[in-house]
């Protein structure tokens, strides 16, 4: 089933069941990121009812602050498409992305460029959120010519689980403290 | 080269907004200080602290700010005053006047504000210098020009390779040295490889990280165009107390076109120091559609300058 069919789906209970099922998988990748001492965010991309890509945060590993779970997963779709000899443009257009935390402003911009139609996420991202928490990149029509079409977003799927992973990572620290993320990263690198 | 234009948040560029307040004439000037004292107690100015309480004029009466009108939740346009001034001696009847709603942050706003009501103004020297159009000294302008020309050459190199004509250079200003050079790669089938994103990843390579498998990596100092990063950060002679580079902290980015929202947020995540760009674009996120570098709520803000060598960069985008 492709993403457009999803959105037209009349049986909302089944749709929700599916969202919950996929989000549990995404949470698994968030857990893995946590174990690798990365910010615990997990992401999967569903195409043709299968997981074709997954990602967890790899900011510390790559020393690149843009290596968020969504970016990693997008990268994997390209590899998948190369192997299967599919057009990644077509695949992205009929995929759904699940991510445990609201995509940040950067990732929301990235998701528009790959022309994904639907994004399902868990908890809000109060610090960097690009689907409404800080600004809403997902549906800003004024930038379409520059970075591609808007996408739909469903929020709040297993949000509590996503939050408790984040709390686990930041432990005693206030998740909303401006520089907590940086502090943690620095400690890990030293 | 002409002075770059600083891109400030609209706090600095917006026109003066005005609100209504109740004022009254002081009928007995001898009681002025007593009236001021009483009002300070019973009706503090709260979010209108920037207003001087009393306005004097040459021939007219002394006027004093009483309070803001009560917000009428019913939506009616009748303004009500909640303050009882009958017991205050030496005051005339209240009436409405328009005053500046916010404290002025630039001299221009200050002068505009004074047309309505006297206000306090504390000039931010740095902002004033930035807005003066004389911020950069000649030697600094020379450097900006040099790095912008480098970015333009990268953009042209990209165009030759059937890419969008966008070039980016990341510089460590403390050493006056280039850390990464990139041109746009998004036309090779990967929509996220904007020049800025590629440059950020090359900085990660320079720090022993990095992720994209990029063509044409170069570590040769003389390489004029193409992708490039300076190897050896941190250098071995770095003593322990010297902090190793952390992402793009303290680095400057030179880019031929205003970055999009994805790239701009990537620069926030990477903690870039300053950004210099050539041509603005309507969907740009450093001043045009958004001002991500000043976005309230984000934990890192940085300085942005536009119109850098824009006579040259504009040619990259107009097709002439
Ligand atoms: Zn992100
Ligand atoms: Zn971009």
Instruction: Name the maximum alpha-carbon separation found in chain A.
Output: 53
User: Which carries the bigger pLDDT value, residue B224 or residue B151?
Assistant: B151
> 3-state SS string over chain A?
CCHHHHHHCCCHHHHHHHHHHHHHHHHHHHHHHHHCCCCCCEEEEEECCEEEEEEECCHHHHCCCCCCHHHHHHHHHHHHHHHHCCCHHHHHHCEEEEEEECCEHHHHHHHHHCCCCEEEEEECCCCCECECCCCECCCCHHHHHHHCCCCEEECCCCHHHHHHHHHHHHCCCCCCCCCHHHHHHHHHHC
Beta carbons of A65 and B211 less than 8 Å apart: no
Whether the CB-CB separation of B274 and B268 falls below 8 Å is answered with: no
Whether the CB-CB separation of A138 and A112 falls below 8 Å is answered with: yes
Query: Of B190, B248, B260, which Cα lies nearest the Cα of A130?
Result: B260
> Looking at the predicted structure, is the pLDDT value of residue A152 above 50?
yes
Tell me how far apart the alpha carbons of residues B27 and B47 are, in angstroms, rounded to a whole number.
27
Give the pLDDT confidence score for residue B212 in this predicted structure. 83
Tokens of B169: 């250079």
User: Which carries the bigger pLDDT value, residue B52 or residue A8?
Assistant: B52
Given pLDDT bands bounded at 50, 70 and 90, which one contains residue A4?
low
Task: Check A5, A10, A38, A70 and give the catalytic one.
Answer: A70
Name the closest ligand to CA B257: 2
Give the pLDDT confidence score for residue B111 in this predicted structure. 95
Q: What are the φ/ψ torsions at residue B63 (nearest 5 degrees)?
A: -115, 150
> Looking at the predicted structure, is the pLDDT value of residue B220 above 60?
no
SS3 of residue B71 by DSSP = coil
User: Which carries the bigger pLDDT value, residue A184 or residue A21?
Assistant: A21
Q: Is A173 exposed, middle or buried (0-12, 13-18, 19+ CB in 10 A)?
A: middle
User: Which carries the bigger pLDDT value, residue B235 or residue B4?
Assistant: B4
The reply to whether B261 touches chain A by the CB within 8 Å rule is yes
Give the pLDDT confidence score for residue B272 in this predicted structure. 97
Tell me how far apart the alpha carbons of residues B214 and B171 are, in angstroms, rounded to a whole number.
20
Neighbouring C-beta atoms of residue A32, cutoff 10 Å: 15
Considering just the CA atoms, what is the radius of gyration of chain B in Å?
27
Tell me how far apart the alpha carbons of residues B93 and B117 are, in angstroms, rounded to a whole number.
19
pLDDT tens per residue, range B76-106: 556 677 788 888 888 999 999 999 999 999 9
> Looking at the predicted structure, is the pLDDT value of residue B233 above 70?
no
Mean pLDDT of B278-299: 95
Those residues whose C-beta lies under 8 Å from the C-beta of residue B228, and which sit 6 or more positions away, are B178, B180, B181, B182, B202, B217, B218, B219, B220
Mean pLDDT of A156-179: 76
Whether the CB-CB separation of A109 and B265 falls below 8 Å is answered with: yes
For the ranges B122-131, B205-214, B267-276, the maximum mean pLDDT occurs at B267-276
Beta carbons of A127 and B297 less than 8 Å apart: yes
The reply to whether B189 touches chain A by the CB within 8 Å rule is yes
Percent of chain A with pLDDT over 70: 84
> Looking at the predicted structure, is the pLDDT value of residue A10 above 70?
no
Tell me how far apart the alpha carbons of residues B230 and B47 are, in angstroms, rounded to a whole number.
51
> Looking at the predicted structure, is the pLDDT value of residue B249 above 80?
yes
Give the pLDDT confidence score for residue A44 in this predicted structure. 97
Given pLDDT bands bounded at 50, 70 and 90, which one contains residue A93?
very high
First to last CA, chain B: 21
Given pLDDT bands bounded at 50, 70 and 90, which one contains residue B59?
confident
Distances (CA, A) of B89 to A156, B27, B82, B92: 60, 9, 18, 9
| Minimum mean pLDDT range among B12-21, B162-171, B200-209, B253-262 | B200-209
Task: Count CA atoms within 13 Å of residue B70 on its CB side.
Answer: 10
Query: Of A28, A67, A34, which Cα lies nearest the Cα of A51?
Result: A28
Mean pLDDT of B284-311: 95
Task: Work out the mean pLDDT of chain A and round it to a whole number.
Answer: 86
Whether the CB-CB separation of B54 and B36 falls below 8 Å is answered with: yes
The reply to whether A9 touches chain B by the CB within 8 Å rule is no
Beta carbons of A147 and B247 less than 8 Å apart: no
Neighbouring C-beta atoms of residue B232, cutoff 10 Å: 11
Tokens of B266: 């990537």
**Angle at A50 (CA atoms; ends A49, A54), nearest 5 degrees:** 135
Give the pLDDT confidence score for residue B82 in this predicted structure. 77
**Angle at B106 (CA atoms; ends B102, B109), nearest 5 degrees:** 55
Torsion-angle region of A66 (φ positive above 0: left; ψ -120 to 50: alpha; else: beta): alpha
Angle, helices A69-84/A12-35, rounded to nearest 10 degrees:
110
User: Which carries the bigger pLDDT value, residue B215 or residue B62?
Assistant: B62
ipTM of the complex: 0.86
> Looking at the predicted structure, is the pLDDT value of residue B318 above 80?
yes
> Looking at the predicted structure, is the pLDDT value of residue B28 above 50?
yes
Query: How does DSSP classify residue B294?
Result: G
Cα(B119) to ligand 1 centroid in Å equals 43
Given pLDDT bands bounded at 50, 70 and 90, which one contains residue A9?
low
Say how far residue B83 (Cα) sits from the centre of its chain: 40
Task: Work out the mean pLDDT of chain B and round it to a whole number.
Answer: 87
The reply to whether B208 touches chain A by the CB within 8 Å rule is yes
> Looking at the predicted structure, is the pLDDT value of residue B239 above 80?
no
Partners of residue A147 in chain B, C-beta under 8 Å? 260-262, 283
User: Which carries the bigger pLDDT value, residue A1 or residue A57?
Assistant: A57
User: Which carries the bigger pLDDT value, residue B71 or residue B115?
Assistant: B115
Query: Of B154, B147, B138, B236, which Cα lies nearest the Cα of B198?
Result: B154
Whether the CB-CB separation of B94 and B27 falls below 8 Å is answered with: no
> Looking at the predicted structure, is the pLDDT value of residue B64 above 90?
yes
Partners of residue B289 in chain A, C-beta under 8 Å? 140, 142-143
Query: How does DSSP classify residue B128?
Result: H
Give the pLDDT confidence score for residue A176 in this predicted structure. 44
| Minimum mean pLDDT range among A151-160, A168-177, B33-42, B249-258 | A168-177
Give the pLDDT confidence score for residue B305 in this predicted structure. 97
SS3 of residue B69 by DSSP = coil
Those residues whose C-beta lies under 8 Å from the C-beta of residue A101, and which sit 6 or more positions away, are A41, A121, A122, A123, A124, A125, A162, A166
Q: Is A187 a catalytic residue?
A: no
Partners of residue A90 in chain B, C-beta under 8 Å? none
């Amino acid at each position: 089933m492709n993403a457009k069919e999803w959105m037209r789906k009349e049986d909302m209970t089944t749709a929700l069941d599916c969202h919950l099922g996929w989000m549990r998988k995404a949470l698994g990748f968030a857990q893995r990121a946590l174990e690798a001492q990365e910010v615990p965010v997990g992401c999967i991309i569903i195409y043709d009812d299968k997981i074709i890509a997954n990602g967890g945060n790899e900011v510390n590993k790559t020393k690149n602050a843009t290596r968020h779970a969504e970016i990693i997963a997008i990268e994997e779709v390209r590899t998948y498409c190369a192997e299967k000899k599919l057009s990644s443009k077509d695949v992205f257009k009929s995929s759904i992305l699940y991510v445990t935390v609201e995509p940040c402003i950067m990732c929301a911009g990235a998701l528009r460029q790959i022309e994904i139609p639907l994004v399902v996420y868990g908890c809000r991202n109060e610090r960097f959120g690009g689907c409404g928490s800080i600004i809403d990149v997902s549906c800003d029509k004024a930038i379409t010519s520059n970075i591609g079409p808007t996408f739909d977003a469903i929020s709040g799927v297993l949000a509590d689980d996503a939050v408790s992973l984040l709390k686990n990572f930041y432990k005693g620290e206030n998740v909303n403290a401006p520089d907590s993320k940086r502090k943690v990263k620095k400690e890990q690198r030293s | 080269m002409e002075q770059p234009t600083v891109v400030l948040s609209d706090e600095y560029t917006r026109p003066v907004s005005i609100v209504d307040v109740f004022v009254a004439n002081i009928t007995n000037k001898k009681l002025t200080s007593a009236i001021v004292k009483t009002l300070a107690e019973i009706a503090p100015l709260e979010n209108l602290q920037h207003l001087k309480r009393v306005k004097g004029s040459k021939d007219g009466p002394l006027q004093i700010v009483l309070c803001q009108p009560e917000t009428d939740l019913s939506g009616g346009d009748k303004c009500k005053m909640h303050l009882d001034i009958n017991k205050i001696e030496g005051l005339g009847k209240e009436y409405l006047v328009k005053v500046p709603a916010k404290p002025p942050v630039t001299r221009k706003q200050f002068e505009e504000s004074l047309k309505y009501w006297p206000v306090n103004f504390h000039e931010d020297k740095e902002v004033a210098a930035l807005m003066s159009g004389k911020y950069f000294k000649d030697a600094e302008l020379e450097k900006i020009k040099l790095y912008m020309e480098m970015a333009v050459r990268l953009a042209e190199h990209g165009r030759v390779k059937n890419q969008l004509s966008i070039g980016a250079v990341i510089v460590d200003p403390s050493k006056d040295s280039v850390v990464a050079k990139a041109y746009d790669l998004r036309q090779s089938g990967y929509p996220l490889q904007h020049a800025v994103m590629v440059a950020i990843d090359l900085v990660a390579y320079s720090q022993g990280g990095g992720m994209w498998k990029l063509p044409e990596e170069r570590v040769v100092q003389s390489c004029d165009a193409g992708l490039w990063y300076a190897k050896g950060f941190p250098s071995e002679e770095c003593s322990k107390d010297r902090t190793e580079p952390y992402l793009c902290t303290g680095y400057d980015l030179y880019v031929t076109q205003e970055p999009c929202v994805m790239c701009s947020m990537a620069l926030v995540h990477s903690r870039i120091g300053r950004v210099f760009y050539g041509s603005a674009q309507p969907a740009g996120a450093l001043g045009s559609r958004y001002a991500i570098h000043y976005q309230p709520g984000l934990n890192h803000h940085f300085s942005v300058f536009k119109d850098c060598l824009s006579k040259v960069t504009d040619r990259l985008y107009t097709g002439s």
